[in-house]
Structure 1
Amino acid sequence: TPVVPEKTPVNDTKHLTDAEKQEVTDKVNDANKGNFPDGTKVSVGDDGTVTVTYPDGSTDTIPGDQVVTG
């Protein structure tokens, strides 16, 4: 289970900019340093929902309201 980082302030919690998505991605990666196996991918949706895809194809999801705040 991924560690949920502190919330990232964004302008619109339903439509994150690319820069905001990158900030959330970086925070998730930093919070999970040493936790994720090599090859793990983190993607962030328009509403802040984080999908963590592991090398074996399994995934974890963090709801957007846990990682972004308006």
Structure 2
Amino acid sequence: VEWNVCLAAETRQQLGRCLVELLGQAAACRGCLVELLGQAAACRGCLVELLGQAAAYRGCLFSAAAEAAAYKGVFV
């Protein structure tokens, strides 16, 4: 009977150590997730900026095309 009690106590200690380790890993994962979310937000900011630049370039192209059409009208 005493052997079963010792085994049960050892099992509880092992479970306790496993839980502590799992909680530590969960905290590390949460830290990684926070970092990844931060990187995703930064990427989203970059994408918004790139889309803005693309819109500006598109505006420049339209302006250049209009000027080219005007010059073509002058030369014709």
For Structure 1 versus Structure 2, the TM-score category normalised by the shorter chain is under 0.3
TM-score scaled by length of structure 1? 0.25
Q: Whose helix proportion is higher, 1 or 2?
A: 2
Q: Name the structure where strand makes up a greater proportion of residues.
A: 1
Q: TM-score, normalised by structure 2?
A: 0.24
Instruction: Give the number of the structure whose alpha-carbon radius of gyration is greater.
Output: 2
Relative contact order (C-alpha < 8 Å, sep 6+): which is higher? 1
